[in-house]
Amino acid sequence: TVVEDPHWIFPGEELRFAALAAAMEGGQEAGGQEVAIEAGVEEVQEGLPGQRIVEGQVPEGQQLPPPIAPPPPQSANLPTVFSKAAAQSAVVGIGAMDRRAVRRFEFYAAGFLTEGQELPWGSVLGTVGKERLSRLPSTSFATMFDYVSVLPPVGGTYQVGDSLVVGSLIRGVTGWGEIFAPAGVVRVTEAAGESTIAQVIMQFARITDGLYVLPLEPFNDPGTVMPMPIENGMMGSVIAARDLNPVPGQQDLVFIDLGRNAGVAPGDLFTVLKMDRGEGMEPRNVATLRVVHTRDESATGFIVNVMDLGTGAGAPVQLIRKMPS
């Protein structure tokens, strides 16, 4: 059997080559022809299918095939795998990536500090048209494109087409209110009094009944504008990490005590400093934060780079790149 396409050779199958079989059997017939086997001979040319013809030993009535011509030398003008054009084509996906200072998904998934404000909280009542597990009678969960029933805040209503963010208040931070961690975004599809149905259109975490609901904050997309380097940027400090990881690391989220009122905007870059050098020595840069969400007095930073430990609460931060206003 000739397997023309190796795609049809599967793991676990055994392939038996005629020439190899002949060698193992001491020169017996392979493919209907007797083949001469000579140990220690390295120069071997290919003959007919199922044969190995040792140099100088040609079966009677057969001729050696013509030697294979070497490939023509490659022209210096043709691209190689190391050429610039080939390299560019190999990474066309990367080159075509949409480089943005902040993406919509990051903005809505980041979370924020409530700063002690009274926000118009609604709540998720449960999923719609989805049976609950019998062993979990009080809990339901929704995934992408599922529908949930939501309860508007007291004295408020939602309209068809409204977008809402759902999430949880995970813990309080002294002097800064509570941390709101988004779980997803839903869009209202039916609204009749207190009976409001919404569909999940973005999901960041498990969406269950009992989560809090807020009107979705508008996202001002900066497009492909990138932050520009500045000198002597404003100073602030880390308030807390969003999640309780023992040591904040790359891709974690932290809150800083500078917000919209200080001119901070999504896309700004801050460096985290560590003052562990001797007197008169410059502090070390231990991490880089990219602002992905802002409130009046605080901002949420995404850790894009970590060089050393020291991104805990109280660590000083300094603005190093500013988005154009």
Q: What pLDDT, on a 0 to 100 scale, did the predictor assign at position 141? A: 83
CB-CB contact of 44 with 54 (8 Å): yes
CA torsion 205-210-211-215 (nearest 10°) is 140
Mean pLDDT of 102-128: 95
Residue 23 CB contacts under 8 Å (≥ 6 apart), including other chains: 37, 52
Mean pLDDT of 179-193: 93
Q: pLDDT over 90 for what percent of the chain? A: 53
Using one digit for the tens of pLDDT, what is the confidence trace for 195-213?
A: 799 999 999 999 999 999 9
Q: What pLDDT, on a 0 to 100 scale, did the predictor assign at position 64? A: 60
Q: What pLDDT, on a 0 to 100 scale, did the predictor assign at position 44? A: 42
Using one digit for the tens of pLDDT, what is the confidence trace for 157-166?
A: 999 999 999 9
Mean pLDDT of 58-87: 57
Mean pLDDT of 19-28: 50
Rounded distance, CA 197 to CA 188, Å? 6
Q: What pLDDT, on a 0 to 100 scale, did the predictor assign at position 48? A: 46
Q: Which residue has the higher pLDDT, 65 or 198?
A: 198
Q: What pLDDT, on a 0 to 100 scale, did the predictor assign at position 285? A: 92
Residue 182 has pLDDT above 80, yes or no: yes
Where is 207: in which H helix or E strand? strand 207-208
Residue 290 has pLDDT above 60, yes or no: yes
Which pTM value belongs to this model?
Answer: 0.68
